[in-house]
């Protein structure tokens, strides 16, 4: 419960779509999931950027977060 309160008190630029930093994920070095790959492609297309097909789960998560902020897609969902 205290983590949720801490996240709510963070500035918007510090909020993330993950609870735990992707660099700390035990599976972060594994290849990105199919869902990440698909969403990353959608975001990359909207942002006019190339999609890197060889990202790890952690790298893909960070890139998704970056592109969400760039495109506005996926921000403020359920908040």
pTM of the model as a whole: 0.66
Residue 47 confidence (pLDDT):
94
Helix or strand or coil: residue 3?
A: helix
The confidence band for 17, taking pLDDT boundaries of 50, 70 and 90, is low
Q: Residue 71 in contact with residue 45, Cβ under 8 Å?
A: no
Q: Which residues pair with 58 in a beta bridge?
A: none
Rg of the chain taking only CA atoms, in angstroms: 13
pLDDT digits (tens, 9 = 90+) for 29-69: 899 999 999 999 999 999 999 989 999 999 999 999 999 99
């Amino acid at each position: 419960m205290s983590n949720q309160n801490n996240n709510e008190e963070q500035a918007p630029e510090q909020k993330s779509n993950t609870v735990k930093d992707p660099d700390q994920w035990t599976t972060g070095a594994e290849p990105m999931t199919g869902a990440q790959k698909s969403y990353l492609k959608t975001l990359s297309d909207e942002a006019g950027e190339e999609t890197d097909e060889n990202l790890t789960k952690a790298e893909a998560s960070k890139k998704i977060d970056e592109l969400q902020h760039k495109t506005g897609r996926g921000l403020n969902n359920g908040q």
